Structure 1
């Protein structure tokens, strides 16, 4: 039973951020912060939208779960998409400072980042999702795939 609803409903990346702030680990394992099954996590930094979803479909990934929210994707550059058996099971955006926003007066910035290059996709497996922690940046140690310059390639 949860005493504080906010503690129970934290996203995996919110849990990572809290752990980093409280415990200052040198590495984290993404799969330790999820309560669902996934094979791969796609860390994406780019103009995520229809072209990225098409690219994922071309990789035989069922993106049906996120098709309906494509308008929301266009507002963000950083995204993590969790995939199980070639199907998107969950996706999220790194936590940012917008929780304290009042009437849109806060300039948004990420509180947690993967420090990817623009247009880069890094894929990690759930079996090896270890990331080095550098301040509030997560750097995947052993990605299984890296796609470069995808903003240009997917135009």
Structure 2
């Protein structure tokens, strides 16, 4: 019996290893009906800031990050992801450690659930941020309220507006 339980735990851990931080967050919210989440609870890498970006990564957002002395080579040198680096209908989350981008992702969407995927995919989880806005959270305070499938940052350390 102990072997079966251990094997189940190992399989569960292997399955969850392949999930992105936002997919883990979305699953947690769905399973627990949570009204708040802490983003740092769902990452397994070092980061000290996360930038929540309105829209896709590029242009003025990259320029602003460079102006803040953040090394964005991971984004600039990235090969296109499965769905491309630009997902205009979604926001983007960028994790930064020691002024260097270490990871970025788009919120999970209905593409992986084929029966729900319309011509235009919709987000399973997204951020409540205004158009052209960047909200920066620290790892020590990455708490977000959950409102209708959107994460609402509680205590941002910086807010930028791109015109």
Per the TM superposition, whether the score is higher than 0.5 is yes
Larger Rg: 2
For the Cα contact (< 8 Å) 1:2–1:8, is it kept in 2? Answer: no
- 1:13-52, Cα deviation, whole Å (9 max, x unpaired): 0010000000011211000111111110000013531332
1:43 is aligned, of 35, 52, 55, to 52
For the Cα contact (< 8 Å) 2:36–2:145, is it kept in 1? Answer: yes
Counterpart residue number, 2:21: 12
SS at match of 1:73: coil
Number of matched residues? Answer: 149
Counterpart residue number, 2:65: 56
Gaps of 5+ in 1: none
- Poorly superposed stretches of 4+, deviation over 4 Å: none
TM-score w.r.t. structure 2 length? Answer: 0.83
Gaps of 5+ in 2: 1-8
TM-score w.r.t. structure 1 length? Answer: 0.87
Q: CA separation in 2, counterparts of 1:88 and 1:11?
A: 16
